[in-house]
Structure 1
Amino acid sequence: MDYCAIIGDIVKSRELGNRVEVQKQFVGVVEHMVNDKYKEYIASRFTVTLGDEFQGLLYGKYSYLSCEIIKFISQNMKPVKLVYGVGIGGMDIQPDYSIAIRSDGPAYHNARSMVMRAKEKKPSICFCTGSAEDELINSLIYLMEVYKDKMTPKQNQAIELYNKKKSQCAVADELKVTQGSVSRLLNNAGYYEIKYAEKNIVDFLKRKYGGHNA
């Protein structure tokens, strides 16, 4: 049986001036918010392991949710940055739902190698599914991050509002600009290209591991 392991690590955590507060926030996001929101898809609860690192395990058919969970954690930890490794494979030890650190196997080994890779170079999220498509997935993520790194504060604001309101006109009213201006902000930021790439990754994981809509 396949599982999907996710390991995340806070970037340069020892350099944070408010490290204790960040660690408390980290525990709240990972061990409470994620575990509550995705409870039915989790094989081993997401657990903070070293103060600045977490790991968790999904059932393999829900591997596609790894993208959503990573985005959820990143959004709730802003402005703190993390790197992530996602590994898919079997488990040598039967997963314990109550805590992730009691489990071990290829899924975690793959995730660990990917988080180490993410620490060394971009992208900040690396996948290892054991298939020939891995480099295509990681290349797509790299290109998405190139787009995101070039976004202006105004573009980021427009995207954040559009993701909430789902309407360019509503965003225009909020920002007191025209709908055409909002459209240009989204297009120039590569918003639709990023969404298309994200959809392709999710669709691939659904096809490969038999996932379905949550």
Structure 2
Amino acid sequence: MQNYIVVIGDIIESKDLEADDRKETQIKLEEQFKKMNRESGQLLSPYTITLGDEFQAVYRSSDHLFRDIWTIMAQIHPVQIRINISVGEITTEINREQSIGMDGPVFHVARDQIEEMKKEDILLTIATDNKQFDRLVNSSFRILSANLRAWNRNRLMILKKRYEEIDVKQIAGELELSEVAVYKNIRAGTLDAIQDLTDSITEIVNEMVNP
């Protein structure tokens, strides 16, 4: 059985946004998805806005997954999103043009997870066949979610750029910050620890999809 990585995202409290803000958020997402879909070599089915406020994609591996997640979060900040990562089986053909019209256990799990996240007000979760792994990771994601809610856009951008192996001097220049400010964000946000955590998750998830 072949496993795939499915990402489903949902804009938080989108119906409470003013009409212009909601439209602007959707435009920002569409522009970011076009860029990611064009440049990513990891997507089997591209990021697609499915229900106006939701989006999904299918990955062949998780190598760029977390970098992409931070990128999406930064793109629409201060509007926030909840994202579930699920690993499992797809029983239909992969739609390589749009992430619609596919089915399988992994989609059912991911959608159930999104509904549970709405109740518990969590920003990020994972679901795999390894429940012990899920409990450990999701406990970490609960802590991370609480921190993410208080972050500004610069911190998300710094985290994203760290995944791209951009050095502090260049990050400071691109974000028009001092190097001291970048280092302060790295320390205050425990960005190195977050990257270590997600690097470990990436390795384990890749073993699940490519045993």
CA contact (8 A) 1:158 1:182 kept: no
Aligned to 1:128: 127
Shift of 1:84: 1.0
Query: Which has the bigger relative contact order, CA under 8 A and spacing at least 6?
Result: 2
Shift of 1:176: 5.4
CA contact (8 A) 2:158 2:171 kept: no
Q: SS where residue 137 of structure 1 aligns?
A: helix
Shift of 1:21: 2.3
Distance 1:150 1:76 in 2: 16
Aligned to 1:88: 87
Distance 1:37 1:54 in 2: 18
Alignment of 1:112 with 2:115, yes or no, is no
Aligned residue type for 2:207: R
Alignment of 1:51 with 2:52, yes or no, is yes
Percent identity over paired residues: 22
Q: SS where residue 7 of structure 1 aligns?
A: strand
Q: Aligned ranges for residues 56-205 of structure 1 at < 5 Å? A: 56-59=57-60, 62-132=61-131, 133-149=133-149, 156=155, 159=158, 163=162, 166-167=167-168, 171=172, 175=177, 183=183, 186-205=186-205
Shift of 1:45: 2.3
Q: SS where residue 97 of structure 2 aligns?
A: coil
Distance 1:93 1:69 in 2: 25
Aligned to 2:17: 16
Where do 5+ consecutive residues of structure 1 fail to align? none
Q: Which TM-score applies when normalising by structure 2?
A: 0.79
Aligned to 1:37: 39
Shift of 1:105: 0.5
Structure of greater Rg: 1
Distance 1:26 1:158 in 2: 16
Cα deviations across residues 75-126 of structure 1 (Å, max 9, x unaligned)?
Answer: 2222221111121111121122112211111121121122222222243111
Distance 2:55 2:47 in 1: 7
Distance 2:62 2:75 in 1: 21
